[in-house]
Structure 1
């Protein structure tokens, strides 16, 4: 993507300007970000997705000052009637199940794929919403059908209402208000309070960006590094042949504390181990994602990543669906293009080494990659 070229997607800003002025700083309202936009799924298609076991879905209903939350899957007859007001269906990860939704998500490829989370669709009847709240991540809110009224505000008081099944702000104070029409889009940075209410029947698409918590990330990386280190060499046990008799048995021996520090330093000494653990963690599929194995094509031409596949790269590795490969030379450049563009043209595959083509074929068999242009 041309990061310095102005685009209607960002209201005439270039991606570079948007990142400097707005990303994680302040909201941006874009009228007609997607001219002539039509919903990618009709309501009945969205309801069919919400009925599937592997799809995360929720229904939120407002009854006066009370709120109800139900979790899917939902048979169609289990959803409220369309003529009933004040209810919302939320379907998570639609990009994993619909090619058009997946393509829409990747219109935002001026941002690192490591941060890209998913596309959630919110279907609501008149008055439907989830109450005033804030998210801990960046989000683009694209209006797909009907209208939604948004009230937003930078809020320091993040206290939540008690006794409700949703994280609803206790004292929400709006500073701005907008009504979005199909094709309009609103960007909000993390922790920016907002309340969206449907004006008639509507669909809103939320393009969300994950931000791992520091403690969670540290815990996950340390565990992965420790598991790898344990398999690399014979276990070294603590030895204390020079330990004297003690009259304070409850005290931690200084030598044991030093042994622990040395163990941690040894595990973190290899910088590539940390890089590898990070890439594997960032590409690990979500727990509700699985792939259907397939027969490898007889002749490999163009290829494209499955919408559910997560693929990243760093200086030494390529990562795909929680696994890492060392990469160098021409094949490394090829795999990085695949991670960046999510597809390779036939001429690019033809230039790959035999080893690289064998790897691509194995990914086809795993269902991570699909062949294009014949040869199946």
Structure 2
């Protein structure tokens, strides 16, 4: 992708201009960002996905002003003609190639931040109430019409009487009705309320995850501690010189030092933190699974399976929670696979025997598919 070229998706802005002027700064409304767009799946397929136990789905209703939330699988939906409900299917790109291709249109931001594509279907008046997200989101209208009211609301108070995170004192500042092909970008924390106008409303949401510091630290420390399970690196606390004490409630200084050393030792290992971060960022979500494949035949290119997450840093290649050290031409081509999500047949043929064996294993695991 040429990040300096004008992009219709961004209203004529280049990705570089968009990231400088709007990303995490202010909303952007783009009329006909995707002209002629059609939903990634039809209504019948969406209904089937919502009922699938391997798919993350939710049903939100507001009948008679009473908000209710049902977590999937959602086997039965209200009548399509009944106003006031919406069904949401998360991670649609895992189940539909058209959704994967739509998600890939937004890879002008780091893949480490790109989360998933959610599709919501709403009857007339359906929505999830005024709320805000802790991540960047692109709201793409793919069928029907939806009215969006937004505000940079700093004094939001959440309702405590509903099973959803709904703002009680929502004060909209801007109001838009989106038609198919229109798109609205919102930075984290912007309050917004989307309501279907006329029914048969489908909206795709492309989300960019923003990990909280405490959650990320917990994940990384757990992975670092898991690495310490090797017998040669791990040992049990011992205190053969501990004397009798008249202060049994006092934590011994030696135990405090032992605990501090345990944490610091994990961080002292070269590239340990970087390795753990890459593994955490590419770890498949709980409901993601891969269908086993076969070894790659000669003369074939490859493409990442639409469920696969692949990243790299200065020393590692990461894919689906695993990390690998690489260098030279192999590393250059593996980085290209992560960036482009595919390699041509000639590029595959130029890999070393070890790298080719690794690709064969990824093909057998279903992480990579023959192109």
Shorter-chain TM-score tier: over 0.9
TM-score by structure 1 length?
0.95
Q: Distance in 1 between matches of 2:228 and 2:369?
A: 34
Q: Distance in 2 between matches of 1:18 and 1:268?
A: 37
Q: Distance in 1 between matches of 2:121 and 2:240?
A: 69
* 8 A Cα contact 1:300 1:361, kept in partner: no
Task: String of CA shifts for 1:302-360, please: whole Å, max 9, x gaps.
Answer: 00011111111011110111111111111001111101111001111111111111111
Deviation at 1:42, TM superposition (A): 1.5
Deviation at 1:244, TM superposition (A): 4.6
Q: Distance in 2 between matches of 1:237 and 1:79?
A: 55
* 8 A Cα contact 2:27 2:187, kept in partner: yes
Q: Does 41-50 or 248-257 show the bigger shift?
A: 248-257
* 8 A Cα contact 2:116 2:206, kept in partner: yes
Q: 1:336 corresponds to which residue?
A: 335
Q: Distance in 2 between matches of 1:232 and 1:139?
A: 45
Change beyond 3 A, Cα 1:351–1:366? same
What's the Cα RMSD here?
1.4
Q: 2:42 corresponds to which residue?
A: 42
Q: 1:59 corresponds to which residue?
A: 59
Q: Distance in 2 between matches of 1:49 and 1:239?
A: 55
User: Of 148, 157, 174, which aligns to 2:155?
Assistant: 157
Q: 1:29 corresponds to which residue?
A: 29
Alignment of 1:238-277 (within 5 A): 238-277=237-276
Please state if 1:349 is matched with 2:348.
Answer: yes
SS, match of residue 130 in structure 2 = coil
Alignment of 1:177-256 (within 5 A): 177-201=175-199, 202-231=201-230, 233-256=232-255
Q: Distance in 2 between matches of 1:245 and 1:44?
A: 73
* 8 A Cα contact 2:228 2:234, kept in partner: no
Deviation at 1:158, TM superposition (A): 2.3
Deviation at 1:232, TM superposition (A): 5.9
Change beyond 3 A, Cα 1:62–1:241? closer
Alignment length (residue pairs): 370
Q: Distance in 2 between matches of 1:241 and 1:42?
A: 70
Q: Distance in 2 between matches of 1:36 and 1:232?
A: 60
SS, match of residue 360 in structure 1 = helix
SS, match of residue 370 in structure 1 = strand
Please state if 1:128 is matched with 2:106.
Answer: no
Task: String of CA shifts for 1:78-129, please: whole Å, max 9, x gaps.
Answer: 1111111111111111110000100110101111111111111111111111
Q: Does 285-294 or 34-43 show the bigger shift?
A: 34-43
Deviation at 1:245, TM superposition (A): 4.4
Deviation at 1:210, TM superposition (A): 1.0
Q: Distance in 1 between matches of 2:38 and 2:248?
A: 73
Change beyond 3 A, Cα 1:242–1:70? closer
Q: 1:94 corresponds to which residue?
A: 92
Q: Distance in 1 between matches of 2:347 and 2:125?
A: 51
Which blocks of at least 5 consecutive residues in structure 1 are unaligned?
none
TM-score by structure 2 length?
0.96
Q: Distance in 2 between matches of 1:38 and 1:361?
A: 36
Q: 1:106 corresponds to which residue?
A: 104
* 8 A Cα contact 1:300 1:371, kept in partner: no
Q: Distance in 2 between matches of 1:38 and 1:286?
A: 27
Q: Distance in 2 between matches of 1:366 and 1:119?
A: 24
Which blocks of at least 5 consecutive residues in structure 2 are unaligned?
none
Q: Distance in 1 between matches of 2:57 and 2:289?
A: 17
Q: Distance in 1 between matches of 2:299 and 2:359?
A: 9
